[in-house]
């Protein structure tokens, strides 16, 4: 049933955004806090859902350590979301499968990183999705996601042309 056919559904008619977190991001808060900060993934997700409500967007979040599970989740969102926010984590630098599924679903996509990958090892400088996303936000820690959600709000409202 289409969202607009579900009266009373808090997500009805709202633009929907899927936020995908890649491998090891479940360990945020404990993992290399000097690089990634002390905010946990649960805190990030709760904040994004609350901010989504404020901005008039339905936000769903998903984390997996497995490339196939990430591809499956994005495939499942095909035709159902208005924007995708993704931090592919280590898969940023290697995954053709994630690039392909982003192209397959066709929703505008924003790439997020907590750290500024260009201040880090050269292997982190390459992204398999950099040229197919609307934009990339990195280096602001957990705030990178907040900025991405605000950008998604502008994109889904038509204020920013993809």
Q: Which stretch binds ligand DQA (CB under 6 A): 37-45, 60-68, 84-92, 99-107?
A: 84-92
Q: How far is the CB of 63 from ligand DQA (least distance, A)?
A: 11
Q: Where are the alpha helices (DSSP H) in 56-161?
A: 67-76, 96-105, 143-157
Contacts of 100 (CB under 8 A, 6+ apart): none
Size of the chain in residues: 162
Using the rule CB under 6 A, which residue among 24, 39, 65, 94 binds ligand DQA?
24
Using the rule CB under 6 A, which residue among 61, 87, 95, 156 binds ligand DQA?
87
CA proximity to 140, closest of 115, 103, 119: 115
CA proximity to 137, closest of 115, 121, 154: 115
44 binds ligand DQA (CB under 6 A): no
Task: Specify whether the CB–CB gap between 74 and 18 falls below 8 A.
Answer: yes
Is 91 annotated as catalytic?
A: no
| Active-site choice (21, 91, 113, 145) | 113
Is 36 annotated as catalytic?
A: yes
Is the Cβ of residue 90 or residue 147 nearer to ligand DQA in the bound state?
A: 90
End-to-end CA distance of the chain: 28
What residues between 92 and 151 interact with ligand DQA by CB under 6 A? 92, 113-115, 117, 124
Q: What are the catalytic residues?
A: 36, 113
User: Which residues are near ligand DQA by CB under 6 A?
Assistant: 24, 87, 89-90, 92, 113-115, 117, 124
């Amino acid at each position: 049933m289409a969202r607009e056919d579900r009266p009373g559904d808090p997500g009805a008619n709202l633009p929907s955004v899927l936020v995908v977190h890649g491998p090891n991001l479940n360990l945020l808060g404990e993992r290399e806090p000097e690089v990634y900060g002390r905010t946990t993934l649960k805190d990030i997700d709760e904040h994004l859902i609350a901010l989504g409500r404020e901005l008039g967007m339905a936000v769903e979040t998903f984390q997996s350590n497995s490339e196939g599970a990430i591809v499956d989740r994005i495939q499942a969102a095909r035709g159902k979301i208005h924007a995708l926010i993704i931090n592919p984590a280590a898969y940023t630098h290697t995954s053709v499968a994630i690039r392909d599924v982003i192209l397959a679903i066709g929703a505008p996509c924003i790439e997020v990183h907590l750290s500024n990958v260009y201040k880090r090892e050269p292997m982190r400088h390459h992204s398999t999705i950099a040229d197919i996303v609307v934009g990339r936000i990195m280096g602001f820690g957990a705030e990178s996601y907040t900025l991405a959600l605000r950008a998604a709000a502008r994109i889904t409202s038509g204020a920013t042309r993809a």
